[in-house]
Amino acid sequence: MSRKSLLLAGVAGALVLSAAAGWLAWSNRTTPDAPPPAAIAVTGKDGQQVASYVVPEDRDILAEANAGQIIHGKRLLAETARLLPDNVGNGLNCNSCHLADGKVANANPYINTVNFYPRVMPRAAREVDLVGRINGCFQRSMNGRPLASESAEMEAMIAYMDWLRQGVEKENRVDMLNPGLLDESLVPDPVNGERIYAAQCAMCHGDAGEGMHDQFGDYIFPPLLEPFQPTTLEEPIVINLWESWCPPCRREMPMMADVAANTDDARLVFVNQGEGADIIRRFLKTENLELDHVVPDALGEFGRHYEVPGLPATFFIGRDGTLQSVHMDEISREGLTTGIRRIAEGETARH
């Protein structure tokens, strides 16, 4: 072989080799994909990390034995107003506050919810279980009515939250931030508020806060101000304003607790004026009182609203939501039961 052909063969060989190397590099280059999902620490009672948690994708639900129930729960949380019209009074959905299906930090995630309850809650001043907590949202946040605890809907919502927990054990907690308490020292400024509302909120929620509907009449953006509509209450209500230091309040309380526990004609709600949850809890415990509906009204707004001259005061509210009669000062068992009978029968008392 001549030197020339050797050289040519060498060049050709080098070309083939480099082409092969190039092809190998090309075919072995990494395919860019999403980064692995963030792992969030799961902490035990002592604050030590015991495991890690990854927010699951909804498509993982399909692998669960009760996938249908979980997806039903997911839908109810996302489209509460449309799917549970009898239980929602203001167009809101659970996910209006619990953003992104309750999966993101700082937006009230559902991730620790199942493990968090039952727990003694400051507003109720008693132990609240998850059903009670969800119904609290239905009644207050969504201005509606509670769901039956055994209902398929309630169980489905809890099934979704339970799936979202991804097996984190009861005593542990996924270390996810949640918004803190509101800064109550803020001073309302209606002029600046109007300016900010027009610039930042009105485009979606409407110039008059009327919200925006879709083609089916369901809210895309919920209303912020609804015209007052008298609501039909589920049952007549008796509201008792009290404080733990007031002797007549303390005297009537055991009798009222007894009536409350033994009547189906009205709901008795005990609104404490100006005391903290701790004081309320301690009082109820030492007096050995079992009350279903205790509301702490730390700023005494109830009393101010009704302009009560002193405590206790008892209000009788009919099924149509209007105030029927008021009793100032200590009430007798007879006065209470008569008042309840009147609102239950729809009579207006002459006062």
Partner 1 sequence: MVSDDDVKAMYAYFMSAVEPVRKKNQPSTIPWPLNLRWPLAWWQMLFSQPREFEVAVDTDPMVARGTYLVEGLAHCGACHTPRGIAHQEKAVKDGKSGVFLSGSVLEGWCAKNLRDEGTGLATWSRDDIVTFLKTGRNHRTAAFGSMADVVQHSTQYMSDDDLTAMASYLKSLEARPGRSPVWEPKEDVTTAALRDGDFTAPGALSYVEHCAACHRLDGMGAPEIYPALKGNSIVFADDPSSLIQVTLVGGKMPDTSAHRMAFTMPGFAHLKNDQVPELLTFIRNSWGNHASTVAPADVARMRREIAHKPVHYAPEATQ
From candidates 220, 225, 328, 349, binder to partner 1 by CB under 8 A:
220
Q: Which residues 155-194 are close enough to bind partner 1 by CB under 8 A?
A: none
Residues 44-73 within binding reach of partner 1 (CB under 8 A): 57-59, 61-62, 71-72
Q: Is 37 in the site for partner 1 (CB under 8 A)?
A: yes
Q: Which of the ranges 161-169, 207-215, 247-255, 257-265 carries the binding residues for partner 1, by CB under 8 A?
A: 207-215
Residue 35 or residue 167: which is nearer to partner 1 going by CB? 35
Contact string (CB under 8 A) for partner 1, positions 275-314, x = contact: ----------------------------------------
Decide if residue 219 touches partner 1 (CB under 8 A). Answer: no
Count of residues touching partner 1 (by CB under 8 A): 30
Closest CB to partner 1 among 124 and 147? Answer: 147
**Cα-based angle 240, 226, 238 (whole degrees, multiple of 5):** 15
CB nearer partner 1, residue 182 or residue 199: 199
- Let me know if 295 is exposed, middle or buried by CB neighbors in 10 A (0-12, 13-18, 19+): middle
Cβ distance to partner 1 smaller for residue 181 or 199? 199
Asked if 165 contacts 112 with a C-beta cutoff of 8 angstroms, the reply is yes
* Using rule CB under 8 A, residue 33 touches partner 1: yes
Pick the closest to residue 164 from 57, 25, 307, 279 (CA basis): 57
- Nearer Cβ to partner 1, position 22 or 37? 37
Q: Rounded distance, CA 137 to CA 146, Å?
A: 9
- Contact residues for partner 1 (CB under 8 A)? 31-35, 37, 57-59, 61-62, 71-72, 75, 78, 95, 100-101, 198-200, 202-204, 212, 214-216, 220-221
